[in-house]
Amino acid sequence: MLEYNSDIHRSHEQAGEVAATSKNAVKNGNPVGGASNQTKDSLEGSVHKKRRRLTDGTDNFFVVDEVQGPIGGLSLTPKIRRTEGGNRWERRLHWSKSPNLEDTKYADWKIHVRLDSNVDDDKRRQTVDHKNSIVTTDATATTETRTTNTVTYSVHRSCLGIHSEYFEKIFLGGFSEHIKGESTVELESPTITLEHFEMVLEYCYTKTVELNPSNAIPILSLSDYFGMETLQNLARNFIRNDMHRICRHDSKVSLNEKSSRLAVYYESSRSMGMQDLEDGILYVCSKEPQILGKGSALANMADADFWCRLWDFRKMHPVPAAHATASVKTWSENLAYFFETHRALVDTKLFRTLTHNDALPIISEKVAILLMEQEEHHCLESIKNNPYIVNSSLGEALSCLQTRCIDALYNTKKGGWQFYTDSKALRGRLRKLSPIVMETILLKTIEFERSGQNVPKPVVSGAGLEFVNGVYTMSGWFQNAMKFSKRGVYEGKLRTLILYRYEEEWWISIVPEDAEEPGRDGDVDIYRVSPSNEWDDCPLPPLNGWVVAQGVQPAPRIHMLSNVD
């Protein structure tokens, strides 16, 4: 019995293809009632959606909706309706890689998926070994000598052709595949597996796909290759939205998870040549150095080119001045840990490039010794002979990096030693560096101690916040006045308190550890005083008149402790 619906048209030539299909069905033992009569209707604009009543050799029969569309074949509406004992049910047609004839009865195309034999990928080899898969494998293949694995899929042209420009051209074009009714696809990338290819097939049949961070890149690559614009947009939007979700300021995703996600995206996009996605990840990383911390997935990538390109992005997209110091210090820590983790990747040229003064003008005290040790390892003599790296114009024998590292360890502007961890960590390490390093640190110590040896020390007392009270020592000069500092515990953390003059007022403030000077937005101003005019030229803080800023009553008072005391 045939039914007609006026929704799809066919040409005279397509009518002939339907007739040929019907004859072949009869020849193969699958009689199609009335199909030969239908082919006589060759009028332009005639309908050709028809319902075929088929038998499977039993008392049962089932009806297939057949559509002979522009690309030919069965099942543009991929459903089978079947009646058994008066009960009717239906199921959708599906691709298959099973050799079972029942599963492939209405398939009209075969796709041979070939896995690259040069890819040593355990996951890929496991994917091939499915139950009922059609797999051809050389039995002698080993990890050292591998041959091509091929899996064959039975599919329906109309399901693939309406979603994929690639398959539509093969089905319609004058290719040898069109005559044979089969084609071959090679999966050459190690990150693309049969599972990903099957997800693409599934989308062609169901228009659904379940994307996650591990499969989004392979699906994007396959959809681009097969010309599946809708699926490609789905994958791109997933990646874009996922990156936005994990990288926004209010994200609750941990740094480790964020780093792992971006590392997966970067390595996949790099292996598939997706430059735009690589650039997007590099931009995100350049703005958030914390995600490349020690032990993170991004830091563990053995990819020197990633760091070179990342440095370029840092230059193109500098961070705001208020956060520049903290950012650069964090980058110095990340770089030192990368050098330590991937020593085999680092040569003199790479070390020079990544530690150049333009890229790292400030070094973190946490890695200053480590970077000097690494510089010694990477041929310090050749580095010192480079006029662009050594401060030769200043008559110094120190390399530029050594100068920055020494300033990080012992900075007269900030108040002597900046190494706030256990001093035992220095033991045995400084002596292994060049003698000039120890000499320079010693001279800086003498200079700093001499400048402040006759300066009285402010003693703060009576403050409502107990950690503010105590003896402050000179730590340099700031705005033509002496600057004093002490350490105290604030909110459970050891912090630096600075007693200093800013413009016309004196302040006692908690200053961020990465701040070069006080008076920034990140300071926590606890107490302040506006001295009288006669105090303007005095480099020492006023003793009285202090009031509460962000602290707690009462305000403190100060008396000076001389060296004689």
pLDDT tens-place string over residues 552-564: 999 999 998 876 5
Domain contains 328: no
Answering whether pTM is above 0.75, one says no
User: Of the residues 38, 71, 92, which one is the last residue of a structural domain?
Assistant: 92
Pairing state of beta strands 109-115 and 182-187?
parallel
On whether both 116 and 142 belong to a single domain, the answer is yes
Percent of the chain beyond pLDDT 90?
32
**10 Å Cβ neighbour count for 158?**
25
How far is CA 107 from its chain centroid? 41
Q: Residue 3: its pLDDT value, please?
A: 31
Domain contains 253: no
How far, in Å, CA of 523 to CA of 507, rounded? 10
The number of domains in the chain is 3
User: Of the residues 173, 191, 208, which one is the last residue of a structural domain?
Assistant: 208
Cis omega (within 30 of 0) on the bond before 456? no
Helix axes 275-287, 229-247, angle to 10 degrees: 10
Domain of residue 80: give its range. 5-92
Least confident of 50-64, 174-188, 264-278, 350-364: 50-64
Domain contains 153: yes
Domain contains 10: yes
How far, in Å, CA of 134 to CA of 169, rounded? 26
User: Of the residues 29, 64, 92, which one is the last residue of a structural domain?
Assistant: 92
Structure tokens at 306: 């990633």
What are the start-end ranges of the H helices in 342-426?
A: 348-354, 368-377, 380-384, 400-409
Contact criterion met (CB below 8 Å) for 38 and 4: no
Contacts 24+ apart (CB under 8 A), 559-562: 559/458, 559/459, 559/461, 560/456, 560/457, 560/458, 560/459, 561/456, 561/457, 561/458, 561/459, 561/471, 562/456
Is residue 235 classed as helix, strand or coil in its secondary structure?
helix
On whether both 151 and 85 belong to a single domain, the answer is no
Structure tokens at 487: 């350490």
* Confidence band of 76 (pLDDT split at 50, 70, 90): very low
How far, in Å, CA of 530 to CA of 159, rounded? 81
On whether both 41 and 110 belong to a single domain, the answer is no
- Report whether pLDDT(394) > 60: no
Q: Compute the chain's Rg from CA coordinates.
A: 37
- Report whether pLDDT(148) > 60: yes
DSSP 504-545: TEEEEEEE-TT-SSSSSTT-EEEEEE---GGGTT-SS--SS-
